Chain A
Amino acid sequence: MIVAKYRRREVISNYIILIIFALIAILPLAVLLFNSIKPQMEFGVNPLGPPSEIRFENFSEAWVKGEYAKVFFNSLKLVVGSVFLCLAVSLAAGFSLAKLNPKGSAIIAVYLLVGISIPAQLYIVPLFLLWKEIHLLNTHIGLVIIYTALNAPFATFLIRSYMIRLPDELFEAARLDGANTFQLFFKVALPLSWPVILTAGLIIALAVWNEFLFALTFISEEGFKPMATILFAFQWRFENNYALQSASAIMMVAPVAILFMLFQRRFISGLTSGGLKG
């Protein structure tokens, strides 16, 4: 920590600059929030300020007109499916890479590292044609498989770096008691890894909830679209109805904001963990 003795004037100028940047980050979001509870009539005279009368009906109207019950359910299916599948495969792989180190597993690690940096534009067309061939286009399971593959390398490394710090003695003791490798995984490694499971799960959920490119490409049928692409379509459908648009956007932001309030540190450390490992 830096606790150098700053002069008073210096501290004040620090705060002023920081507050300006905090306002740049927060004010646009405040405008969105204001607009979501503003009557559509008021946009002409008061486009940026807080509403003169609070109108929560925007939400119910948007909810009905955009059929958000179904859209939310679509997104929820994708999030839950991807989090479960991705965590399952990444926990197994992370465990193996951290504690079992089978000969040649370094190849897998290098492959996943390269996999992280392959731009989606390289494989999206063949993947699209493959998905068409095996009838996974416009299905949620198809998108869940894609999201699992997209997030698995990151989750695997996050889990690996956590499990590598679990004491070897625990595993040795369990081994001496006659546990096989699967029991080591389920009975020893998993119960000790809940913090990293939570972090990885939150990051995967966020990534899937916000994802745009693959949702746009692989789901073209209205009834199956998740929140992100529906909101994009909504912006065209109700082009000048900013009250409805903003209310829908707030509905998509709300779960993220609530989870962020609850798990700030996990989100921040999870999303920036690459920076620490280098």
Chain B
Amino acid sequence: MKIFFNKSFVAWYFVFPVAFIHLFVIGIPSLASLALCLTDWRGLGEINYIGFENFIELFDDRYLKKAIINNVIWTIAFLTVPVGIALTCAYLLTGIKRGQMFFRLAFFFPYMLASVINCQIWKYLFHPIHGLGGFFERIGWEFLAVSPFTTKSTSLFAVAFVDGWHFWGFLVVIYLTGMYQVDNHLYEAADIEGATKFQKFRYITLPMIRPVFVFSIMIIIIWSVPVFDYVYILTGGGPAYSSEVIANYMYSQAFERFDVGYSSAIGTLMFFYVMIIVAMFGLFRRAGWDI
């Protein structure tokens, strides 16, 4: 069958359109960026090769340092809170019979909404006069009546909270698909042995859903790198760079300062980081981790 079809070059015609469009939009510009990061180009005029100067500048850039630290905090926050909540909810969902579908839809629906919508909702809810701020003020909890988006110590977490609120339902569904594949006999055996709910979770559910779990960890790490929408819309990286992330910083370098070489260098850094993560998980799989 396969040899039968292979005779013809026609098969390639079917792949060309995708390959062409993807190369044109993503492949070639990516390569251009990998080259431009070694230049001082500003979008117009001469292109001068300056070696690794951009990268030397990168490592001295304290705003970028702040942004990288924030991205790390963001990643850790997403690896803990949404994952914990989603695991709990998915596990509890497998233990009920009625209303499963309702809960699943309720958890998942925010994931379908645009970033602009989610940001608008929470901007309003966290508004110091309207929203919850006004509510807390009326009941006398004035310390909660400030917008967490405009407070330096909370802005990053507030933005991460909004993104997490929209994202965790996705994790619930992913974990559920894993949990449904667990053999019920294991739980029955554990019941006979008198295992508690937590023990069953720890010693049966968690090991059995490991492939799905590791996958979720991987995409959280990868997706935490280019976070942009929520930061740009809610705080723009402020106040005083307290919620700055790499993607937002890169965007301002590129489209406000038009420093093509420098922003390409930031993009290159992000690209290599993501590729290392992908390669690492690929190696784990090769090494027989069964993920």
Contact = CB atoms under 8 A, between A and B. Distances in A.
Interface string A198-211: 00000000100110
A55 interface: no
Contact of A121 (B6, B12, B212, B266): B266
Contacts of B270: 119, 121-122
Nearest to B259: A125
A168 B229 CA distance: 44
Contacts of A73: none
Interface in A177-198: 180-182, 185
B26 A93 contact: no
B103 A22 contact: yes
A18 B22 CA distance: 42
A121 B24 contact: no
A141 interface: no
A88 B18 CA distance: 9
Interface stretch (B56-64, B92-100, B144-152): B92-100
A25 B191 CA distance: 33
Given A6-B95, A271-B170, A125 B267 contact: yes
B15 A118 contact: no
Interface in A191-249: 206, 209-210, 212-213, 216-217, 227-229, 231-232, 235, 242, 245-246, 249
A24 interface: yes
B14 A21 contact: no
A47 B138 CA distance: 12
A123 B109 contact: no
A112 B95 CA distance: 39
Contacts of B268: 122
Could you say which interface size class chain B belongs to? 35 or more
Residue picked from B21, B125, B135, B260, most chain A C-beta under 10 Å? B21
Interface in B241-270: 246-247, 250-251, 254-255, 260, 263-264, 266-268, 270
Given A2-B95, A228-B116, A275 B26 contact: no
B271 interface: yes
Contact of B120 (A112, A180, A249): A249
A277 B291 CA distance: 10
B139 interface: no
B221 to A, nearest CB: 11
Given A48-B135, A126-B33, A210-B113, A31 B2 contact: no
B1 interface: yes
Given A14-B96, A122-B268, A206-B112, A92 B11 contact: no
**Residue with the highest number of chain B CB atoms closer than 10 Å, among A3, A95, A249:** A249
Given A2-B182, A43-B130, A126 B36 contact: yes
Contacts of B108: 267-268
B32 interface: yes
Interface in B156-176: 165, 169-170, 173-174
A267 B112 CA distance: 9
B287 interface: no
A181 B170 contact: no
Nearest to A91: B14
Interface string A126-161: 111110000000000000011011101100100000
Contacts of B21: 89, 145, 148-149, 152
B247 A181 contact: no
Given A4-B184, A249-B120, A275 B174 contact: yes
A171 B110 CA distance: 42
Nearest to B21: A149
A54 interface: no
A168 B4 CA distance: 12
Interface in B30-67: 30, 32-34, 36, 43
B285 to A, nearest CB: 8
B117 interface: yes
B280 interface: no
A53 interface: no
B267 A121 contact: yes
B124 A96 contact: no
A97 interface: yes
Which of A15, A115, A126, A180 counts the most B-chain CB atoms under 10 A from its CB?
A: A126
Contact of A212 (B18, B95, B123, B229): B229
B275 interface: yes
B180 interface: yes
Nearest to B184: A2
6 contacts: A18-B96, A31-B121, A125-B254, A127-B29, A128-B255, A246-B120
Interface of A: 1-6, 10-11, 14-15, 17-18, 21-22, 24-26, 28-29, 31-32, 35, 43, 47-48, 88-90, 92-93, 95-97, 99-103, 105, 108, 111-112, 114-115, 117-130, 145-146, 148-150, 152-153, 156, 168, 171-172, 175, 180-182, 185, 206, 209-210, 212-213, 216-217, 227-229, 231-232, 235, 242, 245-246, 249, 252-253, 256-257, 260, 264, 267-268, 271-272, 274-276, 278
Closest 3 CB pairs between A and B?
Answer: A149-B25, A96-B14, A100-B11
